[in-house]
Amino acid sequence: MKTPRRLLASLRLMTLIAVGILPLCRAIPAEPEKPGFRDAVDEVQKAAHALGDATPGYYESLEAGFLRVQKDFPGEDEVYSELLFVADRRPKDAAIPLAQRVIDWPASSAVKEKARGLIRKKESLGKPLDLKLSAMKGGEIDVASLKGKVVLVDFWATWCPSCQEKLGELKALYSEHQAHGLEIVGVSFDDKPRRLQVYLDVEGVAWPQHCSGEGWSGPNAKLAARFGLTSLPGLWLVDRKGNLRDLDARENLAAKVRALLAEKP
């Protein structure tokens, strides 16, 4: 059953706000939107959702639509945030030019910085992933030290409905493939580590987790800017050689994991 269009749009807006791509002040604009802007956004989303968010043309439709909106409403920061949302899900050769256009346009400095992070992220494909963080239960999470294994990096939070929906699949994959060389690393954007640990214990999550306890501020804000995170969950795959191979592994995750496990180190 398809999720209603307005609910999908609301969930995406909440995610953009939550992860810092669209500041909370934009949810209740300091200045009134120009007449027609909200209707234009709704029309773009309506046309894309008519295709279905699982169809190949879904993000292409959103991109074309928001580019039209940008021409008519260049002063609305939300349209640039939406374009970055789309760019994050497009292939590298399409994502980088789109993010660069956001940088060149009159977007806010915060959105421009997110665009630069997204470009850095896309350019990191095929290269070693330098991710070293403290673990909640002590010690250190160092992706480079896991060379020889396939590593699934899960950027997530308990307040993210899509993250919770994905957790069952992650647990099944971990149970089935840990012995074959799969490791999972969780990077949580929750702001209450103790509450998160209770959740992990109840859910039986066994892989290491990092949680700074500062939500989307402090170190996590820098982490998001560095890696160009635009939404949660962010599921990345690192191959046995330590190279980043997939920046959007949410779709067909099991097949992608098995394919990487089949590769020789």
- Written in H, E and C, the secondary structure of 195-219 is HHHHHHHHHCCCCCEEECCCCCCCH
Task: Give 4's pLDDT tier (boundaries 50, 70, 90).
Answer: low
Percentage of residues in the chain having pLDDT higher than 90: 71
Task: Give 33's pLDDT tier (boundaries 50, 70, 90).
Answer: confident
Q: Does domain 5-123 have CATH number 1.25.40?
A: yes
Predicted TM-score of the model (pTM): 0.77
Contact 261, 180 (CB under 8 A): yes
Our measurement of the distance from residue 11's CA atom to the centroid of its chain's CA atoms, rounded to an integer in Å, reads 14
Contact 224, 18 (CB under 8 A): no
**Fold annotation for 132-262:** Glutaredoxin (3.40.30)
In which residue are the tokens 């959103």 written?
62
Of 126 and 251, which is predicted with more confidence?
126
Instruction: Tell me the per-residue pLDDT of 172-215, one tens digit each, with 9 for 90 and over.
Output: 999 999 999 999 999 999 999 999 999 999 999 999 999 998 87
Task: Write down the pLDDT at residue 21.
Answer: 44
Separation between Cα atoms, residue 251 and residue 73, nearest integer Å:
33
136-140: long-range contacts, CB 8 A cutoff, minimum separation 24: 136/193, 136/196, 136/197, 136/208, 136/209, 136/210, 136/211, 137/208, 137/209, 139/208
Contact 120, 130 (CB under 8 A): no
Average pLDDT estimate for 248-265: 93
Task: Write down the pLDDT at residue 11.
Answer: 52
Range with lowest mean pLDDT among 30-34, 160-164, 215-219, 234-238:
30-34
In which residue ranges of the chain is CATH 1.25.40 found?
Answer: 5-123
Instruction: Tell me the per-residue pLDDT of 118-162, one tens digit each, with 9 for 90 and over.
Output: 999 999 999 999 999 999 999 999 999 999 999 999 999 999 999
Largest CA distance in the chain: 58
In which residue ranges of the chain is CATH 3.40.30.10 found?
Answer: 132-262
